Amino acid sequence: MPRLVYVLHSGNLYGTERMALATLEGLRDDFSPLLCSPAGPVIAEAQQRGVATCVFENPRDLAQILRRELAQHRDVCFAATAVTHSVLFAALNLFYRRRGVHVHMVHGGTDERDSYGRKKVLNGMGSIFVAVSDYVRERLIANGARAARIRVIENFLSPEDVATRPRRPPFSRPGVRRVLVVSRIDPIKRVDLLLECLDRHADLNALNVRILGTGWDLEALRERARATHPNVTFVGFSDQVPRELAEADLLLHLCPVEPFGLALLEAMAAGLPVLVPNSGGAGSLIEDGVSGLHFHANDADDLARRLVELRTAEAAMLNQLVAAADRQLASRFSAAARIEDYRRLFHGVV
């Protein structure tokens, strides 16, 4: 059975790491998976799921792991999230010349150079870029990655994840009252746009808004909200996101350059309508008026327009958005379909 080595640049357990685990789990009937990362909670989670692991602290450690894997296995497929790790594998395999597919995962991020600009150095190393959204593909091409080497495979939720999440009851009365934001509180995430919207449209202060997440802007925005918008609560870090989603009426996403937005799929699984900017990966995930709603990115007045509409929206319309989102989860964001994309990719079937 071919070896599949998946190297993460972080030992955290956020979207990138969770998708790596889900992919390895889905492929273990075809490959012998090995997850490599710095120390962190992803290692414990992988071991709990029965995925073999290796911990490294620096490139030298990783080089020793890769040499061992290349020496022991004739067929080695490789996936990485950091350019340096892909370069290291490509350099070592010049010597070992093992058969297998080299995939560089691009989940995107907030820094254009680090997230997309450095990827072009892999153009001549035989690697295939996997972009998690059309937006990420566009940014890769704009930064010099070869379009012919890019495949788009969107993120997904496993059936078990969807089935075990708490779910909001169907809407039985008009309008949304409880708005939830799940986001890092950093400038690029544009959480400040919501406060600007409320500054301009006082009638929206009847909404109850909860914002989950931490970041550079947390304390400044929390103080601003305390002074002018007592209906807005900056909760900070929360380990109760599934419960919070099931108790809200709307998930509001504000970042105009989000690469994907796994929280949107989690909201869909919770039976929650979503409102997102009409740009970035988030905008490409949601079909406006079908599986959710758009507002004009970075436009506080258009955000207000949408929120005003949602305050009086008919329950039937809100339930229709939820039903369409459920269909998207079962098809476009299906674990089975996306794992099959990865299976074909690592088997070299293009």
Residue type, 75: D
**Pairing mode of beta strands 102-106, 150-152:** unpaired
Architecture in CATH for domain 3-156+334-346: 3-Layer(aba) Sandwich (3.40)
Contact between 130 and 95 under an 8 Å Cβ cutoff? The reply is no
**Adjacency order of strands within the sheet including 178-182:** 232-236, 208-212, 178-182, 250-252, 274-277, 293-295
Residue with tokens 């995925």: 51
The answer regarding whether domain 162-330 maps to CATH 3.40.50.300 reads: no
- Which run of H or E residues covers position 77? strand 76-80
Using only the alpha carbons of the chain, give its radius of gyration: 21
Decide: 202 and 233 in contact? Cβ < 8 Å: no
Range list of H helices, the chain: 15-27, 41-48, 59-72, 83-96, 112-115, 134-142, 159-164, 192-200, 218-228, 241-247, 262-269, 280-285, 300-311, 315-330, 335-346
Residue with tokens 């988030």, as numbered in its chain: 282
Specify which residues 233 forms β-bridges with: 210
> Helices 59-72 and 83-96, interaxial angle, to 10°?
40
Q: What is the pLDDT along the chain (350 residues), one digit of tens a residue?
A: 899 999 999 999 888 999 999 999 999 999 999 999 999 999 999 999 999 999 999 999 999 999 999 999 999 999 999 999 999 999 999 999 998 999 999 998 767 887 898 999 999 898 999 999 999 999 999 999 999 999 999 999 988 888 999 999 999 999 999 999 999 999 999 999 999 999 999 999 999 999 999 999 999 999 999 999 999 999 999 999 999 999 999 999 999 999 998 999 999 999 999 999 999 999 999 999 999 999 999 999 999 999 999 999 999 999 999 999 999 999 999 999 999 999 999 998 54
- Which residue bears the tokens 């940014």? 139
The ranges of the chain annotated as CATH 3.40.50.2000 are 3-156+334-346, 162-330
